[in-house]
Amino acid sequence: MSADRIDFERGIVFSLRVIVVWKPAREHVLSFRTLPARYYTDPGVFREEIENFYFGRWICAGRATSIPNTGDYFTLEVGPDSIAIVRGADAGIRGFHNVCRHRGSLICTETTGHAKKFICPYHQWTYGLDGKLIACRGMGDDFDKSQFSLKQVAVHELEGLIYFSLAKNPWDTQRAREIISTLARPQGFATAKVADAEAETKAVCVTGQLRCEHFV
């Protein structure tokens, strides 16, 4: 990745990580101090991080095996945005902004679930698994439903992992797919199953701790 694709001035946390990698000498590492308090509390800094780290990049949402059947979905939040990842009738995986096009109410109110169609709890606007608006009572015969589908987000499935992007023009993934496929395929994500969600959370925490300790 070229330096101009990484916003060093605005990507504060990522910049520090890059500096550590580039200057691993002991004196440089020991000279680091924690960031000023405002970087943890300032809403403006938070917006900068969201826009630069998340809105413009591909994000791993989870495993494809977590939504094996048509109508299975899960939701996640990226800053102020709620995103729904759905297994469609064609077995494909799609992503939508989890917001009704009528009054902006959340459509999927649970973090995981199954649905034959999505119905907004506010005024019952109804969407298909492909995000198309199929019912909107009281709007009149001249109302063009095709103009009010759920807003889609770009989604790619790669070796059993689901990635999505909130960018208007997402980065091309071809080179990344070639690299990640080689690393991810032996892990068996495409066929992995989790028997217990609580156990999964504990496993992730332990794995993360071990990885951190390995590089300290």
Distance between CA atoms of residues 211 and 216, nearest Å: 9
Q: Is residue 205 part of a domain?
A: no
Provide the number of structural domains found in the chain: 2
Say if residues 109 and 121 touch (Cβ distance below 8 Å).
Answer: yes
**Same domain for 129 and 30:** no
pLDDT at residue 32, rounded to an integer = 66
Q: For residue 16, is it within any domain? A: yes
pLDDT range class, residue 20, cuts 50, 70, 90: very low
Same domain, 63 and 48: no
Question: Domain range holding 98?
Answer: 59-191
Summarize pLDDT for 165-203 with one digit per residue, the tens. Answer: 998 888 887 877 788 788 878 877 777 776 655 555 554
Q: Which of 54, 71, 92 is the last residue of a domain?
A: 54
30 and 76 co-located in one domain: no
Render pLDDT for 131-170 as a digit per residue (tens, 0 to 9): 999 999 888 888 999 999 999 999 999 888 899 999 888 8
Is the residue at 197 inside a domain?
Answer: no
Q: How many CA atoms lie within 13 A of 86 on its CB side?
A: 27
CATH number at residue 156: 2.102.10.10
Could you tell me where the beta strands, DSSP code E, fall in the chain? Answer: 58-63, 72-78, 81-87, 93-97, 112-114, 118-119, 126-127, 133-135, 152-158, 161-165
| Closest to 168 in 3D by CA, of 76, 51, 83, 84 | 51
pLDDT 10s digits, 38-58 = 888 999 988 888 888 788 788
